[in-house]
Amino acid sequence: WKDEELKFLGNKIYYYESIGSTNEKAKILAVNGEPHGTLILSEKQTMGKGRIGRKWESPKNEGIWLSMILRPNLSPEEAPKITLVAAVACAKATRKHGINCAIKWPNDILYEGKKLAGILTEISAEIDRINHVIVGVGINVNTKKFSVELESIATSLYLIKKEPVDRKKVLIDFLKEFEYFYSKLEKGEFQDVLKEWKALNCTIGRNVKIIGKTKEIEGIAFDIDELGALLIRKNDGSVERILSGDVSLR
């Protein structure tokens, strides 16, 4: 189905009926030397991953469960920018289907506060260079009913639009948007990505609580910086810079 307009995404595609996790598969393939832009797609994941060991429910034929292997020409510290590129692409692609969604920093796409899609970026790098970046994307497309645990926090294009949505269309829209914003990143025009991200986000200006492994931080999220870190002004006026790594935002 490879779309003619796509330049590098999907030049090579691994497609599965069922797989443990597309990100795990992508990591193995990346280590084996699979090229930039390789896609791993599955109809179902039996062990879909969220961040920090969390699970991502990926029922058969109901969503887009994919991973991309990327070999960006960026320094390791710049790699988180790719998560912002993916979030913008995901929000833009679903908006094309009439969904008024927003980006919750750093990696979720929400509709009326419920999670419509999630992004999981995993970076393999040395001190001075990136080996590869895996970007996993899960978009709930035609899910009619979520598990009891997710019912109150998750949504799908089907539940919002009240009609089935063509998964292939959403997939191709996402890939095109991703290539567009990724090319901005490559050309040194990340400011344009940031601008879009800011226009689409629902985190900046909010009172947030950041839950890390060892501490919690509360304050107003007032901006993100050029590396995608969230800037928080605490009640005592001091500013904290939060990288997405291992924290949750509430």
Q: Which of the residues 168 through 207 are near ligand ADP (CB under 6 A)?
A: none
End-to-end CA distance of the chain: 39
Closest to ligand ADP by CB, 35 vs 113, is 113
Minimum distance from residue 199 beta carbon to ligand ADP (Å): 21
**Could you give the CA distance from residue 196 to residue 176 in angstroms, rounded to a whole number?**
16
- The single residue among 6, 12, 20, 50 that binds ligand ADP, judged by CB under 6 A, is 50
Minimum distance from residue 101 beta carbon to ligand ADP (Å): 12
* Span near ligand ADP by CB under 6 A; candidates 5-13, 47-55, 93-101, 163-171: 47-55
Pairing type for strands 13-16 and 39-42 reads parallel
- The single residue among 140, 142, 201, 203 that binds ligand ADP, judged by CB under 6 A, is 140
Specify the residue for token string 């991502």.
56
Please give the radius of gyration of the chain, using alpha carbons only, rounded to the nearest integer: 17
Closest to ligand ADP by CB, 6 vs 202, is 202
Label residue 247 left, alpha or beta by phi (over 0 means left) and psi (-120 to 50 means alpha): beta
**Could you give the CA distance from residue 218 to residue 220 in angstroms, rounded to a whole number?**
7
Q: Is residue 51 a contact point for ligand ADP (CB under 6 A)?
A: yes
Print the binding letters for residues 82-121 with ligand ADP: x by CB under 6 A, - otherwise: -------------------------xx------x--x---
Minimum distance from residue 216 beta carbon to ligand ADP (Å): 14
The answer to whether 66 and 93 have CB atoms below 8 angstroms apart is no
In sequence order, what are the residues at sequence separation of 6 or more whose Cβ sits closer than 8 angstroms to the Cβ of residue 143? 59, 62, 63, 154, 156, 158, 159
Q: Which of the residues 144 through 163 are near ligand ADP (CB under 6 A)?
A: 150, 153-154
Q: Distances in Å between the alpha carbon of 206 and those of 172, 199, 211, 222, 230?
A: 33, 14, 15, 8, 12
Retrieve residue 223's tokens.
């901006």
Q: Is residue 244 a contact point for ligand ADP (CB under 6 A)?
A: no
* Binding-site size, ligand ADP (CB under 6 A): 16
In sequence order, what are the residues at sequence separation of 6 or more whose Cβ sits closer than 8 angstroms to the Cβ of residue 195? none
The answer to whether 94 and 109 have CB atoms below 8 angstroms apart is yes
Minimum distance from residue 232 beta carbon to ligand ADP (Å): 16
Task: Give residue number: closest CB to ligand ADP.
Answer: 50
The answer to whether 136 and 126 have CB atoms below 8 angstroms apart is no
Q: Is residue 122 a contact point for ligand ADP (CB under 6 A)?
A: no
Minimum distance from residue 56 beta carbon to ligand ADP (Å): 4
- The single residue among 15, 46, 54, 144 that binds ligand ADP, judged by CB under 6 A, is 54
Residues at the contact surface with ligand ADP, assessed by CB under 6 A = 50-51, 54-57, 107-108, 115, 118, 138, 140, 150, 153-154, 248
